[in-house]
Structure 1
């Protein structure tokens, strides 16, 4: 049934988003249909930047329009990296905002950021057995 995962990120400026995500994560531009749809490749799943204006409704009965200031979402992205220290420097240089500095967890090192469009994300460097350090069998 499931054939894959696509990651869509709403932004208000695709060129600014291309610059951020290519510099921050080393992604490359794949396909584009116009300036409002850009595919980024280089990770385990493609990321699609979708340009949508501020205050436009994300669905017909939405109570609030899109906002690109910092906002909370129950879904966020974790980017797995080989060196969290180097990657932290790279995302900050690209324009990310550090929210929680590198901390050690049983499964690895984790830091929390927001991108220039208000979306939260984490960098994670797995150590030891990664999530197997905390996983239980069912």
Structure 2
């Protein structure tokens, strides 16, 4: 089994620029006019052009929007230097939503991309999640 990560965006070229710049990914291949595969991370990232205000699925009352939105699914990106990762992402157009926090397991920075998707940078310290694991 493998996981593929798909993100809807309203401006494919702007999204390519953001994810290449912020995360050091590269274009693997174009998928027609409305999609691109980015490689260089632990799983391919697929950017899919979907116009704002279109139905989220067939016959949906909910429509896509690209302002900051909440979803129960988000990306955690594990990095070795959280300060450098945050600075690079902000320079590419991301927003840091609160100051980086440090715990005994590591550091966490809550971020949002220019398309409203939340993501986090995680820098593990000490034994990482083993510091708080109970089983």
Structure 1: distance between partners of 2:65 and 2:128 = 34
Structure-1-length-normalised TM-score: 0.94
Counterpart of 1:86 in 2: which secondary structure?
A: helix
Counterpart of 2:63 in 1: which secondary structure?
A: coil
What count of residue pairs does the alignment treat as equivalent? 135
Q: CA deviation at 1:117?
A: 0.3
Counterpart of 1:21 in 2: which secondary structure?
A: helix
Q: CA deviation at 1:101?
A: 1.5
Any unmatched runs of 5+ in structure 1? Answer: none
Structure 1: distance between partners of 2:92 and 2:33 = 21
Structure 1: distance between partners of 2:72 and 2:60 = 17
Any unmatched runs of 5+ in structure 2? Answer: none
1:1-138 aligned at under 5 Å gives the runs: 3-137=1-135
Counterpart of 1:101 in 2: which secondary structure?
A: coil
Structure 2: distance between partners of 1:23 and 1:66 = 25
Structure 2: distance between partners of 1:91 and 1:40 = 16
Structure 2: distance between partners of 1:133 and 1:46 = 30
Structure-2-length-normalised TM-score: 0.96
Structure 2: distance between partners of 1:5 and 1:75 = 13
Structure number having the greater strand percentage = 1
Note if contact 2:31-2:37 (Cα within 8 Å) is conserved in structure 1. Answer: no
Structure 1: distance between partners of 2:22 and 2:62 = 29
Please report the RMSD computed on the Cα atoms of aligned residues, expressed in angstroms: 0.9
